[in-house]
Amino acid sequence: MIDRRILLASVAGLFGIAAFRWLRASPAHAAEKFEIEKTDAEWRAQLTPQQYEILRKEGTERPGSSPLLKEHRKGTFACAGCDLPLFSSETKYESGTGWPSFWKPLDNAIGTTSDRTFGMLRTEVHCRRCGGHLGHVFDDGPKPTGLRYCMDGFALVFHPAAPSAT
C-alpha cells in the first residue's frame, strides 16, 4: 500500500516538474525561419558581446544604460543585427522605464511571440528579418495605440534623418 506522504510528495513533484517546464527560459522563436540566418559564430563575430547577449540569447540591458534612451533627433531606429528599420523617432516617447520606448513599430518590421520566462506571460518582440530579440510590448502605453514597445537600446542602431535640402 502506498504511504500517504509518498503519494503527496510524488504529486507535488509532478506539479513542480510541470511548473518548471512552463517557467523555464526557451527561445521563443526557435522553430521560426527568418530571411537572415547565420551561425552562432557569425553572429558573435558581427555583434558586440552585449548585442549578442540581447539579440541572440534574449538577454536585457540594465535600465538607463543605453545611449539611445536619450536620443531625440529625427530618424529611424533599426535592428543592430540586420539593420532593418523598426521604429520611427516620431513614435518614441519617455516612458520612465529606463529603456527606449515606442508606441508603434514600422509596418512589417517586427514579430511577436509569447514569453513565459520569470513566471509571467509577456509578449516578446523580435526583428521579423533576422529574429533578433528586441524587447517586449505592454498594453500600458500612450494613445493612439495604448502600447509600449519597451526595447533594449543595444539591440537597436539609430540612423539620423538626412538634413533638409533647403
Candidates 79, 127, 130, 150; catalytic one: 150
Active site residue 150: yes
Between CA 111 and CA 128 the distance in angstroms is: 5
User: Best-predicted range by mean pLDDT among 8-22, 86-100, 106-120?
Assistant: 86-100
More confident residue, 56 or 9: 56
**Is it the case that residue 56 has pLDDT exceeding 70?**
yes
Give bridge partners of residue 136 from the DSSP assignment.
124, 150
The grid coordinates listed for 56 are 541572440
75-79 and 156-160 beta bridge pairing = antiparallel
**Is it the case that residue 160 has pLDDT exceeding 50?**
yes
